[in-house]
Amino acid sequence: PSASAVGVPAYINEHVSAPYDNNARDLVRVRGGLSWLNVESSRRFSKTFARLTVAEKTQICDDICFLPKAAPEFQQGARFFDLVRDLSATAFYTTDAGMKDLGYVGNVALPKWDPPPPAVLKHLGLE
């Protein structure tokens, strides 16, 4: 299912609304990022981001989708994109649909416990 179908927007809203310092910083980044998208959309295409075509949205997103390679003028947008991508993944993959997609089985009784092999324990210094 889509991210919106499993409640990702509501999760992000809840996250940035929480009364903690980190969440308050994320709220500033999300609000600033949404504003940045509209300013950049208006600069490039004389329309708000919501009114852009898919191709126009893609042009902007391509410039901000990978923070380490974003040009200096796109750093603010890239930090926003990075945060929203991380929050979206967290929200999606903590739903039943996301866990099913990952093949996560959760807390279930194991019929048998097979500890890590001795070589792994030795490598980790746990032997």
Residues 63-77: pLDDT tens digits?
A: 999 999 999 999 999
pLDDT computed for residue 45 by the predictor: 98
Q: Tabulate helix, strand, coil % of the chain (nearest 5).
A: 70, 0, 30
pTM greater than the 0.85 cutoff: no
Answer whether 29's CB lies under 8 Å from 83's CB: yes
Which amino acid does the sequence have at 119? A
Q: Are 92 and 6 in contact (CB under 8 A)?
A: yes
Taking 70 as the pLDDT cut, the residues of the chain under it are: none
pLDDT tens by residue, 107-118: 888 888 899 999
| Rg of the chain over all Cα atoms, to the nearest angstrom | 20
pLDDT score recorded for residue 69: 96
Distance between CA atoms of residues 112 and 6, nearest Å = 34
Q: What pLDDT shows up at residue 127? A: 80
- Residue found under tokens 């003028």: 73
* Mean pLDDT of all residues belonging to the chain: 95
